[in-house]
């Protein structure tokens, strides 16, 4: 017991690790929920900002285009006139008055013949050759400025055109100023689909936000990538992210503290049952030759903080809370799993004794548990023994008698535990059909002593013989006791002389050793596990 407790204190108990994991999971869960909310909010916010910027740029561009269209319309009125000083003067005036226009030109047969940039009529040459593409289009014009792209707006009248040019540098500056690092593309929706973008390559993947002008001449597009969303989140939503981190962490810590709060024994017991924290130890029952022919199931509570706890510390509470039903059921199931795996090691008719409390005598689900247990083994492999303790008064109700009858039909036997310690020993024998008497260790301890040595043992043996009831002597601790009991032809022995209650794995090892017919070395007859 002590050894096991010490080991438990050395390592962080499993429960603490489990609680830490649960608390971390909660913190992570809260953080992911709140972070997702913040992230969605950041996405919406960035998308709104981009839409607003697009609308603003669209409106400014539309103004520039309207102004240029208006200018070309006015210039088209000069298309019939000669390109003389008066015409060029008017063209210059138009270009000067419209702030975004750089030049106004008149074109016939794809040649510029009159321009606000020159005073006289221009003759046809390579430099004056100009093909009009659409109403709005971009071109590199080798005559005016060979290195720069220029946005042109045209107005057609018959075979002639009036065109106005807008420096694209101006639009670029406008975009750079307004977009504020949000990459934007302006597309002219003519057949060439000329694209002008700022800051990113058009194939960037992400959310596409596009705005078309009313006359479908322009589209402004922005593609927002995941990286942009995250950097916007980092810049504009850092505080909410930090706060959600703090909240999640605090919730995790609080939950951890709640899980590790000092529990009342009752709360701890409820938790232990739901965590299945009970370990059924098996104490060997031997025959007069010292061979293991059975075992008694004795529960230990593997308490997360206090280590192994003995039955007297929790069985009474388990009885008053009713948890004893579930605990017995869990114990039977665990023992079944251990024994089933090592069936060949079990001698036929292996005695498996399980303690039940008085309240379980009215519980028919206990019958179902026993039925399930026995059905897992071949017929006759296990002799199930139900131990009724004499310490508490068992009511001989019809329900209890029905339960015992049903158990007996399964082949189970009824043993009277702690025989002689209570007040009802004889009346129990009278009321219930008892198959086995367990002589209490307090009487066995007296064997060989001077103080009323073994009279009670002798009387119990006589009584059992007369009633044809088998006897288990419990609490056999030394060879004097064993020799005396053997002399009295007692059938079964249980006590520290043979082994203490053992962890099921160790009990199986003992059985394996016995099946190899290797008797236990003298010094190893008992084990530290209780
Ligand atoms: N309803 C349930 N009651 C249960 C269950 N498991 C245990 N119990 C009850 O607790 C009582 C005490 O059990 P435990 O502390 O495990 O003590 C047992 C043995 O360890 C001890 N023993 C066995 N041999 C010796 C020995 O040589 N010397 C010595 N000093 N003690 C010894 O005796 C107890 C065995 O008890 P018994 O049942 O009377 O055979 C226990 O009595 C149960 O009533 C449970 O699952 N349900």
Q: At what angle do helices 364-375 and 323-341 cross, to 10 degrees?
A: 10
Mean pLDDT, 10 residues at a time, the chain of 530 residues: 36 76 97 96 94 89 91 95 94 93 94 93 90 84 66 92 86 75 74 57 75 83 88 93 97 93 86 92 96 96 87 93 94 96 93 92 89 94 90 72 90 88 71 88 85 78 90 94 94 96 96 72 38
Q: Which two tokens stand for residue 440?
A: 């209490």
Task: Report how far residue 413's alpha carbon sits from residue 120's, in angstroms, rounded to the nearest whole number.
Answer: 128
Task: Report how far residue 141's alpha carbon sits from residue 126's, in angstroms, rounded to the nearest whole number.
Answer: 11
Assign 105 to helix, strand or coil.
Answer: strand
Of all protein residues, the one whose alpha carbon is nearest to atom 26 of ligand 1 is 475
Paired residues of 354 in beta bridges: 297, 386
Q: How many helices (H) and strands (E) does the chain have?
A: 16, 18
Task: Report how far residue 104's alpha carbon sits from residue 94's, in angstroms, rounded to the nearest whole number.
Answer: 7
Of all protein residues, the one whose alpha carbon is nearest to atom 12 of ligand 1 is 311
CB atoms within 10 A of CB 529: 19
Of all protein residues, the one whose alpha carbon is nearest to atom 18 of ligand 1 is 298
Sign of the four-CA dihedral 40, 42, 48, 50: negative
* Ligand 1 contacts CB of residue 329 (under 6 A): no
Q: Which domains does the chain have, with CATH numbers?
A: 36-227 (no CATH), 265-515 (3.20.20.450)
At 100 the pLDDT is 86
Ligand 1, closest atom to CA 319?
Answer: 1
Q: Residue 496 Cα, ligand 1 centroid: separation in angstroms?
A: 12
Q: Residue 456 Cα, ligand 1 centroid: separation in angstroms?
A: 21
Q: Residue 3 Cα, ligand 1 centroid: separation in angstroms?
A: 19
- Which has the closest alpha carbon to 416: 362, 471, 368? 471
| Predicted model pTM | 0.60
At 9 the pLDDT is 40
Q: What value of ipTM does the predicted structure carry?
A: 0.94
Q: Residue 498 Cα, ligand 1 centroid: separation in angstroms?
A: 15
At 144 the pLDDT is 57
Provide the residue count of the chain. Answer: 530
Full DSSP string of 168-185: HHHHHHHHHHHHTT---E
At 200 the pLDDT is 54
Q: Residue 278 Cα, ligand 1 centroid: separation in angstroms?
A: 15
Instruction: Check: CB of residue 526 under 8 Å from CB of residue 499.
Output: yes
* Ligand 1 contacts CB of residue 315 (under 6 A): yes
* Ligand 1 contacts CB of residue 117 (under 6 A): no
Task: Report how far residue 299's alpha carbon sits from residue 316's, in angstroms, rounded to the nearest whole number.
Answer: 13
Q: Residue 298 Cα, ligand 1 centroid: separation in angstroms?
A: 6
- Which has the closest alpha carbon to 475: 412, 394, 524, 420? 420
Ligand 1, closest atom to CA 438?
Answer: 40
At 453 the pLDDT is 63
Q: Residue 333 Cα, ligand 1 centroid: separation in angstroms?
A: 19
* Ligand 1 contacts CB of residue 438 (under 6 A): yes
Q: Distance of CA 467 to CAs 429, 441, 470, 511, Å?
A: 9, 22, 9, 32
Which of 298, 316, 318, 328 has the most ligand 1 atoms within 8 A of CB, as the residue to mutate? 298
At 355 the pLDDT is 94
At 10 the pLDDT is 41
- Which has the closest alpha carbon to 14: 275, 318, 313, 334? 275
Q: Residue 113 Cα, ligand 1 centroid: separation in angstroms?
A: 118
Task: Report how far residue 330's alpha carbon sits from residue 313's, in angstroms, rounded to the nearest whole number.
Answer: 19
Burial class (CB in 10 A: 0-12, 13-18, 19+), 138: buried
Which of 301, 302, 311 has the most ligand 1 atoms within 8 A of CB, as the residue to mutate? 311
Q: Residue 523 Cα, ligand 1 centroid: separation in angstroms?
A: 23
Q: Residue 207 Cα, ligand 1 centroid: separation in angstroms?
A: 71
Q: To the nearest 10°, the Cα dihedral for 250, 254, 259, 260?
A: 110
At 519 the pLDDT is 44
Instruction: Check: CB of residue 444 under 8 Å from CB of residue 481.
Output: yes
Residue 110 CB partners (closer than 8 Å, separation 6+): 129, 130, 131, 132
Task: Report how far residue 230's alpha carbon sits from residue 238's, in angstroms, rounded to the nearest whole number.
Answer: 10
Of all protein residues, the one whose alpha carbon is nearest to atom 22 of ligand 1 is 475
Sign of the four-CA dihedral 248, 254, 260, 263: negative
Instruction: Check: CB of residue 388 under 8 Å from CB of residue 415.
Output: yes
Which of 355, 389, 501 has the most ligand 1 atoms within 8 A of CB, as the residue to mutate? 355
Ligand 1, closest atom to CA 318?
Answer: 1
């Amino acid at each position: 017991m002590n050894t096991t407790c010490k080991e438990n204190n050395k390592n962080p108990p499993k429960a603490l690790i489990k609680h830490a994991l649960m608390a971390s999971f909660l913190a992570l869960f809260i953080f992911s929920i709140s972070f997702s909310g913040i992230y969605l909010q950041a996405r919406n916010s960035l998308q709104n900002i981009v839409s607003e910027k697009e609308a603003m740029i669209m409106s400014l561009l539309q103004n520039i285009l309207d102004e240029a269209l208006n200018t070309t319309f006015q210039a088209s009125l000069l298309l019939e006139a000669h390109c003389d000083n008066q015409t060029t003067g008017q063209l210059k005036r138009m270009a000067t008055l419209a702030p975004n226009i750089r030049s106004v030109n008149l074109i016939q047969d794809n040649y510029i013949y009159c321009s606000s940039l020159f005073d006289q009529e221009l003759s046809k040459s390579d430099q004056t050759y100009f093909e009009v593409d659409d109403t709005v289009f971009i071109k590199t014009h080798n005559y005016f400025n060979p290195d720069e792209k220029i946005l042109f707006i045209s107005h057609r009248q018959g075979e002639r055109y009036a065109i106005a040019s807008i420096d694209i540098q101006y639009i670029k500056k406008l975009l750079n100023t307004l977009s504020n690092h949000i990459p934007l593309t302006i597309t002219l929706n003519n057949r060439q689909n000329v694209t002008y973008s700022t800051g990113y390559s058009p194939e960037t993947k992400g959310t596409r936000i596009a705005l078309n002008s009313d006359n479908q001449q322009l589209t402004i597009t922005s593609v927002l990538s995941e990286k942009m969303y995250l950097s916007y989140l980092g810049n504009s939503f850092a505080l909410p992210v930090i706060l959600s981190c703090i909240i999640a962490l605090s919730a995790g810590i609080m939950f951890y503290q709640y899980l590790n709060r000092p529990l009342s024994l009752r709360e701890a017991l409820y938790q232990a049952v739901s965590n299945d924290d009970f370990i059924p130890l098996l104490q060997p029952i031997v025959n007069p030759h010292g061979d293991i022919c059975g075992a008694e199931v004795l529960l230990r509570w593997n308490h997360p903080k206090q280590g192994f706890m003995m039955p007297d510390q929790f069985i009474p509470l388990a009885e008053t809370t009713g948890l004893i039903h579930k605990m017995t059921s869990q114990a039977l199931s665990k023992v079944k799993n251990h024994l089933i795996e090592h069936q060949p090691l079990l001698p036929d008719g292996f005695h498996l004794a399980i303690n039940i409390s008085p309240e379980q005598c009215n519980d028919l689900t206990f019958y179902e548990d026993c039925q399930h247990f026995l059905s897992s083994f071949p017929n006759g492999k296990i002799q199930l023994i139900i131990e009724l303790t004499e310490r508490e008064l068992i009511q001989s109700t019809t329900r209890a008698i029905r339960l015992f009858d049903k158990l007996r039909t399964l082949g189970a036997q009824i043993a009277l535990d702690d025989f002689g310690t209570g007040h009802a020993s004889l009346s129990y024998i009278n009321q219930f059909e008892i198959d086995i008497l367990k002589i209490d260790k307090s009487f066995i301890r007296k064997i060989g002593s001077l103080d009323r040595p073994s009279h009670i043992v002798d009387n119990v043996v006589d009584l059992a013989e007369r009633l044809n009831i088998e006897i288990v002597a419990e609490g056999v601790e030394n060879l004097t006791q064993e020799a005396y009991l053997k002399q009295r032809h007692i059938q079964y022995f249980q006590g520290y002389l043979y082994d203490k209650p053992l962890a099921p794995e160790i009990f199986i090892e003992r059985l394996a050793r016995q099946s190899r017919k290797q008797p236990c070395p003298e010094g190893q007859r008992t084990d530290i596990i209780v």
